[in-house]
Amino acid sequence: MTATPDVAPLRPAAGAAPHRSRLRRIASHPLAHLAAALLLIALVQSFVAKVYQVPSASMEQTLMPGDRILVDRLGIAGAPERGDIVVFERPDAWRDAPRSEPSPWRAAAGWVGDLFGLGPSNGDALVKRVVGAPGDEIACCDDGGHVTVDGVALDESYVTNDLPFDADTIDCDSIPRSPRCFDPVRLGPGEFLLLGDNRADSSDSISLCRGDVPTTPACARPVDRENIVGRVFLRLWPLDRVGAP
């Protein structure tokens, strides 16, 4: 019978066990859990979904000032669709004056706020509804006072507080013309026409073109695709209004 040679058991290298023990202690520390949670929040906010606060009354009653909304950044990788509510960065054409640079402290606080969705922001985001997409011709109004896309009236049951329009009294042929009216606007590649649901109190893509003002490229303010952050899919706050907008 052949004798089995003695084999010495494998032992961890000197110092390996204490090293693993230190790693376990670090990983189990509450500060490590907090750092991991903050990192996860930052990644989600940057690439998946981001929290915004509604800045104005232009989307009432769909969204109210101060509402917290969640914006889908992944699902809008293609083009936004007509009817979507979107958050976008304010284009220069929408500004009354050039934006001033924040102080270093304010910029740092805004960076943290943008990263984690809490506190101040360095962005200048607005929220509106997509009414026209690239290639569309949008106008207002038909005989019923509706916005049309390529000659077809839109069903805009979400609109509240619309501008006055009454066929044969104050319409697109009367003098003065109804402030709801605007001449046809043809959208170019990558351009979207964004309007507020609260039409009478919304500064938007067409507000400078309404009424007796001739519709020109100078008054229409379409928004480029690159400015659009994502689609609003959930209202987070207040709690009594949580749900899809």
- DSSP character string of 98-131: PPPPPPHHHHHHHHHHHHHT-S--S--EEEEEEE
Q: Select which of 58, 178, 202, 205 is catalytic.
A: 58
Grouping H, G, I as helix, E, B as strand and the rest as coil, residue 83 is coil
How far is 225 from 191, CA to CA, in rounded Å? Answer: 6
Q: Select which of 28, 121, 128, 157 is catalytic.
A: 128
How far is 245 from 235, CA to CA, in rounded Å? Answer: 6
Q: Going by C-beta distance under 8 Å and a sequence separation of 6 or more, which residues neighbour residue 24?
A: none
Task: Decide if 171 contacts 202 (C-beta within 8 A).
Answer: no
Q: Going by C-beta distance under 8 Å and a sequence separation of 6 or more, which residues neighbour residue 91?
A: 221, 223, 224, 227
| Sheet with 147-149, edge to edge strand ranges | 152-153, 147-149, 137-140, 182-186
For 51, other C-beta atoms within 10 Å of its C-beta total 17
56 belongs to the catalytic site: no
174 belongs to the catalytic site: no
Burial class (CB in 10 A: 0-12, 13-18, 19+), 84: buried
How far is 198 from 188, CA to CA, in rounded Å? Answer: 26
Q: Which residues are catalytic?
A: 58, 128
